[in-house]
Amino acid sequence: MLTRRFVILSGAALTLFPVGDRRARAAPGGFPVSHGDDEWRKRLTDKQYYILRDHGTEHPYTSALNDEKRRGTFICAGCDAELFSSATKYDSRTGWPSFWAPLDGAVGESEDRSHGMVRTEVHCARCGGHLGHVFTDGPRPTGLRYCINGDAMAFLPMAE
C-alpha cells in the first residue's frame, strides 16, 4: 500500500517516486527494545518520531548536534543506546552530524531503495530506529561517513 509520494528534481524534469510505508520494523527475532506505534508517539517528539520510526530526514544544518564539539557519547533518542563516540565525529560539511565509525554493535544496516537510488541505511541495533545513512566518502581510518540525523540522537557530555 502506498502511503505518500516524494518529489525528486532531476535536471529540468520532475519525477514522483512512490514510496511504501517505511516505518521501522523489527528484524526477524525483533529488537531488544520494542513498543507499539502509540507508545512510540508518546515517548518521542514529532520530529523524533518522523525520523526514527517513519524514516524521515531533518533539514541540513538544523540540529544543534551538528556543531557539538565536546567530548562525550551520542545516544539514540528512542532508547538511550550508546551509538557514537565524539572521538569519531568530524565536520563533513554536509549539514548533519557525521562520524567515521559507530560504537561496536551499536548500529545495524539495511539496503534503502527509496528516492530512486540505493543507499545503506543505518538503524539503532537496540530499537531499530532509523538514524541516517552510511557512505564510502569519509575520512581515514575507515573511509566511511555515517551521516546521522541529529534529532535521532541526544548527547551525553563526558564528566570533566
Structural contact between residues 147 and 121, judged by C-beta atoms closer than 8 angstroms: no
Consecutive H or E run containing 47: helix 46-52
Q: HSE, CB side, 13 Å, CA atoms: give it for residue 44.
A: 27
Residue carrying C-alpha cell 541495533: 125
Which of these is catalytic: 76, 124, 127, 147?
Answer: 147
* 147 assigned to active site: yes
Residues tagged active-site: 147
